[in-house]
Chains A and B, each alone.
Chain A
């Protein structure tokens, strides 16, 4: 029993470390994914509760590899469930159009509001998998391998996904005359 208690205490300590290290990652991912603080907070809490329930197994199976992709995968699934539930039971409009720029400083807003707003608007127009890959890369700083694990893809497919996402976004945010619309 004493051994079990010690193991449990060690597990709790490891989980606390995981939580401290990745709270901001999970919150950032969910904020850019759902577009508002309220849902991002609720989903962040749910993500860590689910992670806690399955932490022992995840730690065992990870074999020392980073657990961040696993955490982000949980967050991704919870966000997908939120959208699915709300589309089944439409209540109030999802605050997806809320100004995502609330995450930025006043200086950034003054200097590059138009450009950043265009980029964020462009990100919202991308297909889900491309948008998520960009959030993981640029908001969380994840490398291709981590993103691949979080999305359940191969490293190669992830590299192509990100490349295409950036190319599509470039076309969306380019001025009309560059796209040949004028």
Chain B
């Protein structure tokens, strides 16, 4: 500080702020740090991708893991059939829509349900 302003005065504080800007200048990271971080992130991404691929293949070779997709398919078909019957029943009662429209809607619902089951989070 120059010694002209008292530390508590606004001018003194402004002077300290100016000194702080110079004293705490941003520091450029070393070149090799940027390369190091990029390399580590890249290897993490690759490892994650390889692990996922390996897990998917290994999982599908194991018959125990066929249960979930099979249940989903059977469940989906049953739900589809149920919805189709419901649609027929409603058609009789309401007589507002054609069977074809209902069936299309039912198929669409089943597909949406399947997407929910298989879509990994």
A interface list, Cβ under 8 A from B = 4, 12, 15, 19, 23-25, 27-28, 31-32, 37, 40-41, 44-45, 48-49, 52, 103-104, 108, 112, 115-116, 119-120, 123, 134-135, 137-140, 166-167, 169-171, 173-175, 177-179
Query: B26 near A167 (CB under 8 angstroms)?
Result: no
Measured between beta carbons, the chain A residues less than 8 angstroms from B64 are none
Give the complex CA separation of A41 and B34 in angstroms: 10
Q: How far is the CB of B67 from chain A (nearest CB, A)?
A: 20
A19–B8 alpha-carbon span in the complex (Å)? 39
B contacts with A: majority SS = helix
B54 within 8 A of A: no
Q: How many A-B contacts at CB < 8 Å in the complex?
A: 116
Q: Which of A23, A166, A173 contacts B1 (CB 8 A)?
A: A173
Question: A-contacting residues of B (Cβ < 8 Å)?
Answer: 1, 3, 6-8, 12-13, 15-17, 19-30, 33-34, 36-38, 40-41, 44-45, 119-120
Q: Is there an interface contact between B7 and A24, defined as CB atoms closer than 8 Å?
A: no
Shortest C-beta distance, A182 to chain B (Å), equals 12
> Cβ of A135: which chain B residues have Cβ within 8 Å of it?
24
